């Protein structure tokens, strides 16, 4: 079984500057991976490189043993964004359908099989109740569920989620994290999740990838989620607390601080 | 315009409408334009590109004037200038389309310059205000046979390409990042659409003129998107509305002696207001409509 992901001495250059370089990284199939790091460190760029949206300037990357290419049905993507325009008039179910055949040219013909597949994904993420409503009218949490269905509908074995919990309230953060964990465990889908706030996913993660200072490193959660490591990583005081029931909580001022952010 | 007024006999009315060659041409060209304008308009509104549609119609002004000056059809000049502008905007990227501040200032300057250029061309021609008037407000009742042919070719080709690229276009419009990851050539689709939009603008200007282009290119799509969030249905509805505005507008103009552009724009505007009004009212009052 090939690794879900294998980067070898990879580097990305945008506009003359190295975003990160010398990245060696391997992720096994079915792992739940959290990608952490300060703003502007290159987390989104990492996902884009894995999708073939940004070319590597050096090194190589394999996804399920194959070179990256756009339109790979094995991979589902949820980009970083705030919300859909409230006036966007397209139904949730149409958006999911686009994940299946939105890239196809030619006259769209009705297909019962595709409709079933879409309905199945919508049910999986629990969006059946609002599948016929316009996406712009839905709440942030509802939109994320629809987008996860869209990312999965092509039969993806890996989900790349760029800050999917941002701008959600606490209970929705919890619900969406649980949903993603369930998909990871029950369907064996590999999950790469970029998170700003690591707390909602802390109980689930198998591996932490952190992006900072032009490097990408990976480690076990118990090694990375530590006061000293995170403080160094974010360049700001961060504290990892152990709660009475044995859980970890990350607190502190790990707001966007990086040399990039300060430059601008 | 005519001696006889309309009756309640629809068949007789239609015979009356189509008894002159210029009215046959008007209906034929109007129908073709409405097909492409309605289809394109659905995407214009979905993509939030009304501003670009407006801009392209302005850029067409010197094009039409150049056509007159060079003794070729004004439509040819329109098409050349509009398509060139569309490709230019496409290369500049989405910033212009989104009405980005610095960019819209630049576009504004280009607009003013192109209007000035158009004025100059018309002046060089004969100083006649007739051509300018036709360009600004449309001249559907004076459409020549060869223009009908050209309009047919453009409408058929444009519609076919729009349907063919429908899914990637919707995808790239609502979710460009995911579309790109799924293999849609977003930039190319965007430029391709702008070219079709330019062609639609060029032939729509014949009917309603550059000042009234909203009526056929934006209003039907806006109304359709208010009525339904289903892409296929919205697309068809937008075409149906554009056809209805054109046909009814032409008939009213024929029997009343008021300009076609006035009726087409009034119908388009009226329909949009009626459809939109219930949604703008407070929630409590909305229940009455539902
Ligand atoms: N399209 C772009 N043009 C120029 N610079 C970019 C572009 N995209 C990203 N960058 C730069 O690359 C770096 C990494 O960005 P990004 O991957 O978005 O960071 P993160 O997701 O970790 O916040 C930043 O310094 C950003 O300024
Ligand atoms: Mg990012």
Do the Cβ atoms of B218 and B50 come closer than 8 Å? yes
* Cβ neighbours for B83, distance < 8 A, ≥ 6 positions apart: B195, B198, B199, B202
Q: In Å, what is the CA distance from A231 to each residue of A34, A196, B220, B273?
A: 17, 14, 56, 57
Q: What is the pLDDT of residue A238?
A: 80
User: Which ligand is in closest contact with the Cα of A39?
Assistant: 1
Q: What is the pLDDT of residue B286?
A: 44
For B207-249, the pLDDT digits (tens) are 778 777 888 999 999 999 999 999 999 999 999 999 999 999 9
- Angle between helix axes B186-208 and B74-92 (nearest 10 degrees) is 150
Task: Establish if B60 belongs to a structural domain.
Answer: yes
Q: Find tokens 């079709």 and name the residue.
A: B196
For residues A41-54, average pLDDT: 96
Candidate from A13, A39, A40, A57 with most ligand 1 atoms within 8 A of CB, to mutate: A40
CA trace torsion B135, B149, B269, B86 (10° rounding) = -70
Contact residues, B window 148-167, toward A, CB-based 8 Å cutoff:
163-167
Q: What is the CATH number of the domain that holds B174?
A: 1.10.3470.10
Do the Cβ atoms of A155 and A74 come closer than 8 Å? yes
The continuous run of DSSP H or E covering B118 comes out as helix B101-125
Q: What is the pLDDT of residue B49?
A: 87
The CA A39 to ligand 2 mean position distance, Å, reads 7
3-state secondary structure of A134: strand
How close B163 gets to chain A, by Cα (Å)?
6
For residues B46-70, average pLDDT: 85
What sign has the CA pseudo-torsion B149, B153, B158, B163? positive
For B151-207, the pLDDT digits (tens) are 999 999 999 999 999 999 999 999 999 999 999 999 899 999 999 999 999 998 877
Question: Which tokens go with B253?
Answer: 């103009």
Q: What is the pLDDT of residue A259?
A: 41
What's the rounded Cα separation, in Å, for the pair B39 and B174? 17
In DSSP notation, B262-278 reads HHHHHHHHHHHHHHHHH
**CB contact, 8 Å: B226 with chain A?**
yes
Provide the pLDDT confidence category of residue B261 given band limits of 50, 70 and 90.
confident
Q: What is the pLDDT of residue B93?
A: 63
Task: Establish if B3 belongs to a structural domain.
Answer: no
Task: Establish if B4 belongs to a structural domain.
Answer: no
Q: What average pLDDT does the structure give for chain A?
A: 90
* Cβ neighbours for A3, distance < 8 A, ≥ 6 positions apart: A26, A27, A28, A29, A62, A64, A65
Task: Establish if B5 belongs to a structural domain.
Answer: no
For B115-144, the pLDDT digits (tens) are 888 778 777 766 566 666 777 777 777 778
ipTM for the whole complex: 0.91
CATH code, A29-51+74-237: 3.40.50.300
Residue A82 has pLDDT above 60, yes or no: yes
A196 lines ligand 1 (CB under 6 A): no
Q: Closest Cα to atom 16, ligand 1: which residue?
A: A42
Q: In Å, what is the CA distance from A142 to each residue of A75, A146, A175, A184, A195?
A: 22, 6, 11, 19, 19
What's the rounded Cα separation, in Å, for the pair B68 and B66? 5
Provide the pLDDT confidence category of residue A65 given band limits of 50, 70 and 90.
very high
What's the rounded Cα separation, in Å, for the pair A234 and A251? 12
Q: Which atom of ligand 1 is nearest to the CA of A48?
A: 17
Q: What is the pLDDT of residue A231?
A: 80
Domain ranges for chain A, please list them: 29-51+74-237
DSSP code, position B5: P
Question: Which tokens go with B93?
Answer: 């990227």
Residue A257 has pLDDT above 80, yes or no: no
Question: Which tokens go with A187?
Answer: 């369907």
**Which is higher by pLDDT, A258 or A211?**
A211
CB–CB contact B167 A91 (8 Å): no
What's the rounded Cα separation, in Å, for the pair A135 and B171? 13
Q: What is the pLDDT of residue B102?
A: 55
Containing structural domain, residue B143: 10-289
- Angle between helix axes B166-174 and B231-256 (nearest 10 degrees) is 100
* Cβ neighbours for A222, distance < 8 A, ≥ 6 positions apart: none
For residues B16-45, average pLDDT: 92
Q: Chain B: residue nearest A95 by CA?
A: B171
Provide the pLDDT confidence category of residue B287 given band limits of 50, 70 and 90.
very low
**Which is higher by pLDDT, B156 or B101?**
B156
The CA A40 to ligand 1 mean position distance, Å, reads 5
Task: Establish if B1 belongs to a structural domain.
Answer: no
Q: Closest Cα to atom 26, ligand 1: which residue?
A: A40
Do the Cβ atoms of B183 and A73 come closer than 8 Å? no
Residue A18 has pLDDT above 90, yes or no: yes
**How many domains in chain B?**
1
Collect all residues from A whose CB is shorter than 8 A from any CB in B.
51-53, 69-71, 75, 77-79, 81, 84-85, 88-91, 94-95, 98-99, 101-108, 132-135, 150-151, 154
Q: Chain A: residue nearest B186 by CA?
A: A103
Question: Which tokens go with A40?
Answer: 């502007």
Task: Establish if B202 belongs to a structural domain.
Answer: yes
Residue A64 has pLDDT above 90, yes or no: yes
A229 lines ligand 1 (CB under 6 A): no
* Cβ neighbours for A74, distance < 8 A, ≥ 6 positions apart: A63, A64, A155, A156, A157, A158
């Amino acid at each position: 079984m090939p690794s879900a992901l294998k980067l070898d001495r990879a580097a990305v250059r945008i506009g003359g500057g190295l975003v990160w370089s010398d990245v060696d990284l391997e992720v096994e199939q079915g792992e739940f991976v959290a990608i952490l790091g300060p703003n502007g460190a290159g987390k989104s760029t990492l996902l884009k490189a894995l999708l073939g949206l940004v070319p590597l300037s050096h090194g190589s990357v394999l996804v399920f043993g194959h070179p990256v290419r756009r339109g790979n049905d094995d991979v589902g993507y949820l980009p970083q964004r705030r919300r859909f325009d409230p006036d966007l008039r397209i139904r949730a179910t149409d958006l999911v359908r686009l994940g299946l055949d939105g890239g196809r040219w030619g006259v769209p013909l009705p297909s019962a099989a595709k409709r079933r597949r879409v309905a199945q994904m919508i049910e999986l993420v629990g969006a059946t109740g609002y599948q016929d409503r316009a996406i712009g009218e839905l709440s942030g949490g509802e939109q994320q569920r629809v987008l996860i269905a869209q990312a999965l509908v092509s039969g993806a074995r890996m989900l790349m989620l760029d800050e999917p919990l941002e701008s959600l309230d606490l209970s929705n953060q919890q619900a969406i994290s649980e949903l993603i964990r369930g998909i990871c465990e029950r369907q064996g889908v590999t999950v790469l999740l970029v998170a700003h706030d690591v707390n909602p996913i802390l109980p689930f993660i198998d591996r932490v990838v952190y992006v900072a200072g032009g490097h990408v490193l990976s480690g076990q959660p118990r090694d990375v989620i530590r006061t000293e490591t995170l403080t160094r990583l974010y360049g700001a005081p961060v504290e990892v607390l152990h709660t009475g029931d044995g859980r970890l909580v990350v607190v502190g001022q790990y707001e966007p601080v990086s040399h990039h952010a300060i430059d601008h | 315009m005519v001696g006889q007024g309309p009756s309640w006999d629809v068949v007789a009315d239609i015979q009356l409408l189509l008894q002159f060659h210029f009215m046959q041409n008007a209906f034929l060209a109007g129908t073709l334009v409405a097909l492409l304008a309605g289809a394109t308009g659905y995407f214009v509104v979905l993509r939030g590109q009304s501003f670009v549609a407006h801009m392209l119609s302005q850029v067409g002004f010197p094009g039409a004037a150049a056509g007159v000056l060079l003794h070729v059809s004004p439509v040819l000049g329109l098409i050349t200038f509009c398509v060139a502008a569309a490709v230019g905007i496409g290369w500049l990227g989405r910033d212009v389309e989104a009405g980005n501040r610095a960019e819209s200032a630049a576009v504004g300057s280009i607009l003013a310059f192109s209007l000035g250029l158009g004025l100059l061309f018309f002046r060089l021609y004969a100083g006649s205000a007739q051509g300018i008037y036709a360009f600004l407000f449309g001249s559907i009742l004076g459409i020549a046979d060869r223009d009908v042919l050209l309009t047919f070719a453009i409408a058929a080709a444009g519609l076919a390409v729009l349907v063919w690229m429908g899914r990637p276009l919707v995808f790239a419009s609502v979710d460009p990042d995911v579309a790109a990851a799924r293999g849609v050539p977003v930039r190319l689709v965007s430029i391709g659409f702008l070219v079709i939009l330019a062609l639609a603008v060029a032939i729509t200007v014949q009917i309603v003129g550059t000042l009234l282009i909203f009526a056929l290119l934006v209003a039907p799509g806006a109304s359709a998107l208010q009525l339904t969030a289903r892409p296929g249905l919205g697309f068809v509805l937008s075409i149906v509305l554009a056809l209805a505005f054109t046909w009814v507008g032409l008939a009213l103009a024929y029997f009343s002696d008021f300009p076609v552009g006035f009726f087409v724009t009034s119908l388009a505007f009226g329909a949009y207001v009626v459809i939109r009004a219930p949604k703008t009212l407070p929630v409590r009052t909305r229940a009455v409509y539902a």
